[in-house]
Structure 1
Amino acid sequence: MAQVKWTLDPMHSEITFKVKHLMISTVTGQFRTFNVTAQTAGDDFSKPGVVDVTIDVSSIDTNNEQRDGHLKSDDFFSAEKHNQISFKSTKLEVDGEEGKLYGDLTIKGNTKPVVLNVEAGGVVVDPYGQTKAGFTVTGKVSRKEFGLTWSAVTEAGNVVVGDDIKFTAEIQLVKQAA
């Protein structure tokens, strides 16, 4: 079976994240610049495939310039030294609309295995004749496991930034001509 290459449709894709602030509310942010490529055995994602993701750390956007600057600093991502977050899949299992994506996530030079949940939206041909595949990928990681250990506590003893980072990637891929 022929290998099929897929590339990101950036106009119809996004990566967002949520983290607890003061343990009473949630801050949402996104990465504006990222790339996703995939390779599958055949025209769909039911057979083994490979997924690679790279994210430009300096594209982080939480709708607050001061907070974004702090996140890019050595307290968190060290964006000057570690300008990319990367994910390389080791296994993709999609059965119908549900699946799991296994792989190695690297943040700030620390690589850990993760398992992500995949919701497959399907494969369709758009009005321009391009074959597209859509996915929602969700997961949760501990920021401290990846070296994002900055912490502060309020006078009342509340933690300023939670450890768990929840993220969602809405991804649309375009099948490339053979």
Structure 2
Amino acid sequence: MNPTPATATIPGYLAGTWKADPARCEITFSVRQVLVSKVRGRFTGHDVTIVTGEDPPGSSVAVTIDLATVDTGNERRDAHLRSAAYFEVEEYPTMSYRSTGIRRTGEGWSVDGELTFHGITRQVPLAVTVNGFGPDPSGGRRASFSATARVNRRDFGIDIAMDGTGLVVGEKVSVGLEIEAVLQE
């Protein structure tokens, strides 16, 4: 592959299909509670596929998250998040993200895409940093990406003012992804 200007700035860039290594990936979120503290959590069940094109803007991303795997370090809170008050896991067991376009933005990249959560689909851009491409110890190839986004829970039909315990929950939710993916042969 002859490097294009975009791929020349990404050392080791390689076109192909990449699957996230579940042991080396983290999908996290944080939201303000009572306007003072933050509740942080993560999802331990997810499937991430990245297809890198010959040129980065020709790439795509697909993510599916198992909402039942929410983990905030507090089982009572996790059960409440899985309930009808928030995620409604019995009716909406997964959240998904599908890219619709990728573009260069200054030092990083922006992935435009559609987030489907709670039965509602909205446009949500991801700010992405390409951490690198390189060999792994078993002779394969790995790629690493970091991404962030902010979503408004009300945009997805979660329109409660209180969390059931009398605590106010913020509207803006920060999302973070640390993805290490393995090239598929």
- On whether the aligned pair clears a TM of 0.5, the verdict is yes
Question: Shift of residue 50 of structure 1?
Answer: 1.2
Q: Which residue of 2 aligns with 1:149?
A: 159
Question: Distance in 2 between the 1:97 and 1:127 partners?
Answer: 29
Q: How does 1:1-178 map to 2 (within 5 A)?
A: 4-42=16-54, 46-94=56-104, 98-152=108-162, 160-177=168-185
- Deviations along 1:120-157, whole A, 9 cap, x unmatched? 10101112111111011001000110111122289xxx
AA matched with 1:171: I
Give the unaligned 5+ runs of structure 1. Answer: none
Question: Shift of residue 97 of structure 1?
Answer: 5.6
SS in 2 for 1:63: coil
Question: Shift of residue 40 of structure 1?
Answer: 2.1
- Deviations along 1:24-53, whole A, 9 cap, x unmatched? 1111000010010021223xx724111100
- Deviations along 1:71-91, whole A, 9 cap, x unmatched? 111111100000000000001
Question: Distance in 1 between the 2:145 and 2:154 partners?
Answer: 28
Structure 1 or 2: more strand by fraction: 1
AA matched with 1:172: E
AA matched with 1:117: A
- Could you tell me whether the CA contact under 8 Å between 1:48 and 1:93 is conserved in 2? no
SS in 2 for 1:68: helix
- Deviations along 1:91-124, whole A, 9 cap, x unmatched? 1225796111110001100000011100110101
AA matched with 2:48: V
Question: Distance in 1 between the 2:110 and 2:131 partners?
Answer: 14
Relative to the length of structure 2, the TM-score reads 0.86
